[in-house]
């Protein structure tokens, strides 16, 4: 039985679109989110993290602040989760050297949460790469609205 005209056109449209732009075919586009990064004026590792995000396709705006403590507390993030930079993306707060893949996962899953954080500055995390390639295992934490945290992603010392 032949397909109705509209169904044939929809299938043909997907085939043509897949040939022209495979990543965007039939609603499978990978959205490039705008992310606002907040950092202090002299932080070089923050600039390296920003480069990591841009390399992953995020549209990054950079905001310079003298102190990030007020920003973190106003978004419900405890100082125990602090790092050297913060960010906002699609209603979520992102603290520290969080890999772009973890941010994409957060945006795909949309959990009820304040956001995600990588506390401190773990060697080998995005923006904290070392000349010798030294890496330490670290975790990305999901920060819940009540202030509690739970494991979101584990990153091993191996590349």
**pLDDT tens digits for the chain (159 residues)?**
444 443 444 434 433 333 333 333 333 334 678 999 999 888 888 999 999 999 999 999 999 999 888 899 888 889 999 999 999 999 999 999 999 999 999 999 999 999 999 999 999 999 998 888 888 999 999 999 999 999 999 998 664
* CA 53 – CA 121 distance, rounded (Å): 16
**C-alpha dihedral over 152, 78, 50, 36, to 10 degrees?**
100
């Amino acid at each position: 039985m032949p397909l109705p005209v509209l169904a044939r056109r929809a299938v043909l449209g997907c085939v043509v679109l897949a040939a022209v732009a495979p990543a965007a075919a039939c609603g499978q586009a990978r959205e490039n989110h705008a992310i606002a990064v907040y950092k202090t004026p002299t932080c070089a590792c923050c600039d390296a993290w920003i480069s990591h995000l841009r390399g992953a396709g995020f549209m990054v705006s950079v905001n310079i602040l003298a102190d990030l403590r007020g920003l973190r507390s106003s978004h419900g993030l405890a100082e125990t989760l602090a790092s050297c930079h913060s960010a906002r993306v699609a209603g979520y707060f992102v603290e520290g050297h969080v890999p772009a893949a973890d941010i994409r996962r957060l945006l795909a899953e949309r959990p009820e949460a304040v956001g995600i954080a990588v506390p401190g500055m773990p060697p080998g995390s995005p923006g904290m790469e070392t000349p010798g390639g030294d890496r330490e295992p670290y975790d990305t934490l999901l920060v819940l609205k009540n202030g509690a945290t739970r494991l979101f992603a584990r990153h091993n010392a191996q590349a």
